[in-house]
A and B are shown apart, each in its own frame.
Chain A
Amino acid sequence: MTLMAGAAAADTSLTIAIVNNGHMINMQKVAEAYTAETGVELNWVSLEEGVLREQVTSDTATGGGQYDIINIGMQEAAIWGAAGWIEPLKFGATYDEGDILPAIRAGLSHEGQMYAAPFYGESSMVMYRKDLTDAAGVNIADNDSWDNVKAAAAAIHNPDEGVYGACLRGKPGWGDNMAFITTVVNSFGGAWFDKDYRPTIDSDEWRAAINFYVDLLGNYGPPGSEGNSFNEILALYNEGKCGMWIDATIAASFLEVDGVAYAQSPNAGNSVGANWLWAWAMAIPAGSPNAEAASDFIEWATSKEYVQAVGNHPEFGWGSVPTGQRASTYALPEFQAAAGFAKAEMMAIESAAPQATDLKPYVGVQFAAIPEFPEVGSAVAQEMAAALSGAKSVDEALAASQAAADAIMKEAGYY
């Protein structure tokens, strides 16, 4: 595969916009072998997630040309594919598209056609301190009820010793607090919109979910939780201050405290949508002059061959291979030995259900794959943070959220 690419693409230079995370940074090193073999020069542009989205959006909307390959997330892949902003991906038989985890492949496709190839994927799960739950005589099971999870948080909550029962996202942002809150709402039977895309934020399900969230995090969370997202909680967790954390499965590979155990996300009767689904993927902007070479590179970078290259790389090893991407990775004994969280992660990804259902008309678990969602999600995120900090009551925050979402959807012409 790569030799063929070499013949076709020697003396080509590809500019690749990547999000800054461990897996993507490692790729820059591993891909040195690709350049050596094919002669394709790779120029990496690493950007913060928000800036990357903004740059890639403006580049794509203005006809592209800035990048040959872009990192996009699950929220964009289907929408951009449908809009014709990114090229459909077609790889050779050796690529084994069927090996890509079905939920991830579905989330990156439009009408069955894959528009972005997953580089790594994630779901969410409970990461709890088993030493603390054992000492307190409580247990957290897979898909436990939210009530049991709250009881466990209360039992291990010991602020005098600097240990907080539950650390959860509170920082406002559609990809921050709303990612977690949406999974809670889903598990309470709620959704963002009804079948006519009218917001349903003032529903009883939302009210019950938000009251539960504010109660759980307000009583058993660390102070100042409205400022905490992934990075802040990761720091708290590694300082031994969190008894439990429900967040992205990728967090498991960063945890440095002993005694961590994993459980599938809790729910309040509805397990569909209780855990999220996300993937960072690689796509080719429409009109890229180097589309063929870009496609060859993506084929290599998301292949089984790449997983082997990372696992056998002297600087990285099997604990650093991209996860949440291919079923075959989870079957590798070397990977299973290096990643204690592998089984729980794969189970979470496989059970995630992003497709539209009778309950919700949109694709996506912790987001709705419609162009207006970032705006709606950001507006509601502010209100939820206000409810958490006590600046507003839950009812006030929900009413304001409903009004804001309604105005945005009306203006967008949904009804």
Chain B
Amino acid sequence: MAIVAQSSKLSNVLWPVLAWIVGLLFFFPIFWMVLTSFKTDADAVKSEYLLWFTPTLENYLNMTENYDYWRFARNSVITSVFATIFTLVVSIPAAYAMAFNPTKRTKDVLMWMLSTKMLPAAAVLYPMTFLTKSLGLFDTHFMIILVLSLINLPIVIWMLFTYFKEIPKDIIEAGKMDGVDTLGEIKEILIPLAWGGIASTALLCFIFCWNEAYWTVRLTTTDAATLSKLIEGNRAPEGLFFGRLSAVSTAAVGPIVVLGWFCQKQLVQGLTFGAVK
């Protein structure tokens, strides 16, 4: 009995300590990036200014005055918000159909959709470049929204499908008995019941869109360029611009970190496929 109590006490201490260590390890690069963003480029690489230095806002002022940060930020917001909305508009009916009216091919369809995520993006770089240019859609918000939506559709449909499957089929069928049509079932019954799952999926989708860097860098020039492109443009092979790069990166991830902080409960639910019980 005493041994059990002792080991329980030990695990009460060990687990939180371990969790803190892991948490700090994950947080350290972000902390370092924020710290470096307040150093000059010269101080950023000097060991004597590792922790104690004279903070400066020079990098942030430079970023807003010379690098047009707000234009990139506006593009990130526009493309991420509309791509998330568009993805949900397509995914909710798709997941509904597969969760409540499955056929013997449903699992294959789901697997096929997921398999498209396994294709390396670089493999379709040239076709995509040709296509977008010949359609006159290169460097447009529309194209980026479409691409971000297509990239995220498989994972969003999978997540929503998992949530929807947890909802008793009887509830949906009861709606049918009351004469509600399919659109009504989705709007009046499904969405209110699965609201938590849909919200956490939307949040994750938004984060994926915000962080996407392969296509947003390669299919844009100036008009639709997002924050990923701003970060990319501040990497230099000959010259240490770590202070400037850290400021740009901090300002790029800042909004999404704050959003994630406020919605962490929903995010954890989304990531663990907690579903609607």
Q: In the bound complex, what is the Cα–Cα distance between A46 and B238 (angstroms)?
A: 14
Which of chain A's residues have a CB closer than 8 A to the CB of B217?
47, 51, 55
Q: Which residue of A46, A62, A238 contacts B129 across the interface (Cβ within 8 Å)?
A: A62
Q: In the bound complex, what is the Cα–Cα distance between A31 and B24 (angstroms)?
A: 45
Q: In the bound complex, what is the Cα–Cα distance between A66 and B222 (angstroms)?
A: 10
Distance between B82 CB and nearest chain A CB, rounded to angstroms: 23
Q: Which residue of A59, A231, A235, A238 contacts B237 across the interface (Cβ within 8 Å)?
A: A231
Q: A15, B221: Cβ atoms under 8 Å? A: yes
Q: In the bound complex, what is the Cα–Cα distance between A104 and B47 (angstroms)?
A: 38
What sequence of 0s and 1s flags, for each residue 218-229 of chain B, a beta carbon within 8 Å of any chain A beta carbon?
A: 100110010001
Q: B129, A234: Cβ atoms under 8 Å? A: no
Known: A63-B133, A65-B133, A239-B46. A20 touches B233 (CB 8 A): yes
Which of chain B's residues have a CB closer than 8 A to the CB of A370?
none
Which of chain B's residues have a CB closer than 8 A to the CB of A15?
221-222
Q: B218, A47: Cβ atoms under 8 Å? A: no
Interface range, A side: 35 or more
Number of A-B contacts defined by CB within 8 Å: 88
Within 8 A of A (CB), among B211-265: 217-218, 221-222, 225, 229, 232-241
Q: In the bound complex, what is the Cα–Cα distance between A28 and B65 (angstroms)?
A: 12
Chain B residue nearest to A278 (CB atoms) is B238
Interface CB pairs A-B, < 8 A, 30:
A19-B236, A20-B233, A29-B66, A43-B221, A47-B229, A47-B232, A48-B232, A48-B233, A48-B237, A51-B218, A54-B218, A55-B218, A59-B129, A61-B126, A62-B129, A62-B130, A63-B133, A65-B138, A66-B221, A67-B221, A230-B237, A231-B240, A234-B45, A234-B240, A238-B42, A239-B46, A248-B238, A251-B238, A254-B239, A256-B42
Closest 7 CB pairs of A and B: A46-B233, A48-B235, A235-B45, A20-B236, A49-B237, A43-B222, A58-B129
Interface residues of B (CB under 8 A from A): 42, 45-47, 66, 125-126, 129-130, 133, 138-139, 217-218, 221-222, 225, 229, 232-241
19 additional contacts (CB under 8 A) given A43-B221, A48-B237:
A25-B66, A29-B66, A43-B222, A45-B221, A45-B229, A45-B233, A51-B218, A51-B232, A55-B217, A58-B129, A58-B218, A59-B129, A61-B126, A62-B126, A62-B129, A66-B139, A230-B237, A234-B240, A235-B240
